Chains A and B, each alone.
Chain A
C-alpha cells in the first residue's frame, strides 16, 4: 500500500501507527495467553496479518480496536486448534488460592495475575480491556464483536470471580504463610 501524500510533500504510511499500539497489544496478548513468549508470537502474527491485510482497515476508524480484534481472533483460533480448552476450575482455585494482602504489593499483583488465568477467556478479555487498558465499553464490544451489555456483564462477573478467589468479597483477611503463597505462585504460569 502506498502512503498518503501530505500537503507538505512526503508520503505518510498509515501503517506507521501500528507500532504505537504494540506495547498495549503485547500486554493484552500476555493477559490472554498467560505466557510471555507465546504473547510475543501472537503479537508478531498480529502485525503480519495487519500489515498484509491493511486494505481491510477503514482509514479514520479505530485502529487500536482493529488491531486488538486481529490479535484476539488469532489467539482464539490458535486456542481452538490446540484443543486445550481449560475449564474455569473456579472451585478448585478458590480452595487453593491463598491471598496475602497489604504485606507485599508485588506479590499481591502476582496473585491477581495468577487468578486472572482461571477466568474464562471471555471474562478475562473483557476485564483486561475495560478494567486494565482503559477501553470504553463500546470499544471493547467492537473489539470482541459483541454487545456492550455483554462486555459489561462479563467484566462484572470477572471482578466477582476474582474477588471470590482472592477472598476480597467477604472482607476476609486470611493469614497465610510464605510457604502457602509460594506454593500457589509456583503453580501459576509466568505471564508477566
Chain B
C-alpha cells in the first residue's frame, strides 16, 4: 500500500499538496475505522436510561 511516502520537497512555508492529501487520506482511514466500531453497551444503556427517566417525569406530571 502506498502510504505516507513523501516524494516531493517541501518548502519553509508549507508542504506539497500531495503530502497534505496523503495525510488527510490516512487520517480518514484511521478515523473511519473508529467510527465503524459498534457502540459500547454503556452508551446505548445510558441513552435508554435517559429516555426512561424523561418518560417517568412526563408520567409523574400527568
Contacts and interface: CB of A to CB of B under 8 A. Distances in A.
Interface of A: 1-2, 13, 18-19, 22-24, 26-28, 30-31, 40, 43-44, 47-48, 51, 99, 101-102, 105, 108-109, 111-113, 116, 127-128, 131-134, 156, 159-160, 162-163, 166-173, 192
Contact of A109 (B6, B24, B30, B51): B30
Contacts of B3: 101-102, 105, 108-109
Contacts of B47: 18-19, 47, 51
Main secondary structure of the interface of A (DSSP, over half): helix
B35 A163 contact: no
A112 B27 contact: yes
B5 A131 contact: no
Contacts of B14: 156, 160
B18 to A, nearest CB: 10
A97 B55 CA distance: 53
11 contacts: A26-B34, A51-B47, A102-B2, A105-B3, A109-B3, A112-B4, A160-B10, A163-B15, A168-B22, A170-B9, A170-B10
B6 A168 contact: yes
Contacts of B35: 23-24, 26-27
Given A131-B27, A192-B33, A168 B15 contact: yes
Main secondary structure of the interface of B (DSSP, over half): helix
A169 B13 CA distance: 11
B19 A169 contact: yes
B26 A112 contact: yes
Contacts of B30: 109, 112-113, 132, 192
Interface in B13-44: 14-15, 19-20, 22-24, 26-37, 39-40, 42-44
A14 to B, nearest CB: 13
> Which 6 A-B residue pairs are closest in the complex by CB-CB distance?
A168-B6, A169-B10, A105-B1, A132-B27, A27-B34, A131-B24
A133 B10 contact: no
Nearest to B53: A51
Instruction: With a 10 A CB-CB cut-off, give which of A111, A163, A172 has the most chain B CB atoms.
Output: A163
Contact of B37 (A23, A131, A134): A23
